[in-house]
Structure 1
Amino acid sequence: MGLYVEARIRADLHDLWIRTQDPARHQRWDLRFTEITHLPRAEGEPQRFRYATRVLPFLTVAGTGVSAGERERPDGTRTSALRFASPHPLSLLAEGSGYWRYVPDGDGVRFLTGYDYRPRWGAFGALADRLVFRPLMGWATAWSFDRLRLWLERGVTPERALRNWLAELALRAVAVAVACTGLGWESFLRLLGPFAASTAYLLPLLLSVVVCLALFTSPLACTPAARRCLRTPPARTRAPRLLRTLEDPR
């Protein structure tokens, strides 16, 4: 699989399964989707679904998929696999497949995904995917997994987690802007009075410290962050056999 993300979540396996398999809950924490809807199915058939992503306020791309899950496996794990495709001409993602694995681990669960897709638009699409879209998809997946973790571990709802992230991002941006433009520093030096001249040479160092703190300090505990997730598989991974049983959703 081209992309891999893993998060360790201290939660009950059943609770994690419900918040990832129920479309109404899934779309709340997964940044990659705006809407997920299960389609009608006959008894014994895999579950078909429709998904949509709002790329811009006036542009939404949609697609369909088929999924199946194994809730009871001999080793105590659970697995979910899916295939998906989008016919929308403005969707870089043409078709793909992936899986989720739920691996009990002490007082928590290792929740991991592997997935890959085929981009459209020929050579241009392949280049755009490698340079921009694929890294963005990996980041969005990891950020969403940590957002899910906060929901299960700390009770921070996905909506509140997004607000926390935006607020912290804004504060960091303001700190960098103030440090780089020097806004307010003249007033600060005037407050120092006679000590201003002897401390002015420290100003560049102080500004550098502010910028470093804003850019490199760890996110707050209630703010989702992609960096908390594992992005490289610890060993060679293989897609579950369940994936091979799913037909093309188109």
Structure 2
Amino acid sequence: LREKLRYKDEIVLGIIFTLIGMTLLTSGIKLGLASLGGEVGAQLPRAFSSEEEFIDRVVINNFDKDLLYYTIEPDGTQKTYFNFSENGRIRPVEFHEELFDEASGKYEYIITRPPLFGSKLSVLGIILVLAFAFGMGYGATMAEPALSAMGMTVESITVGTIRRTQIVQVVSFGVGIGMVAGLCRILFDLPLVWLIVPSYILLIALTLISEEEFTSIAWDSGGVTTGPVTVPLVLAMGLSIGGELEISDGFGVLAL
């Protein structure tokens, strides 16, 4: 303890760079990952929505009903349209009598966005959303610095028997599956206990029949996934999806 500290300048410089790096990482998580997760979660429900999304209301003054024209569907249904010009683009808009005020001559045009895949293809939308969630969970875990560090440690201890890439790939795949399970819980309003309890029963059974060295690595691998990259991204996305679907409980994705 009485020895003088060696390489003081390098140690001080390392501490300074560490603080700068942690500050930049925290700022990036706050400004980037959390916002990205929130935006993705807010937009994903549109992929499987079977209803039109409200965008805006536009009041058209001095509306002239003489500009209306009619179309007929193959089943004989007639619809009324008018051409609406916006930013130099002309598009047909369906006319609704209840939105027209005869006294003032004003028509309230409600701008909506149609379902991404139509009302009959919501199942395809759900599949694509789950696939996207898997990709996000997989990619975020691949970028976790703690998981990469653990993989290098395990590879060194096992003398290359278990490689770093194997651990990273397997854990990332597992997190992707967990993301899919978490979104299924939100979309289909599944009780969290139905997903948590069977999983832990299976894990405990595997722990009892496996060797101690492998079980220790496996449980620690699950712990390092809740790092600075995965947590804000997954949590923000789950809460945003729950908010868009008007579900009060958007939590639970991270637990899975």
TM-score for both structures, normalised by structure 2:
0.25
Q: Please say which structure displays the higher CA radius of gyration.
A: 2
Larger helix percent: 2
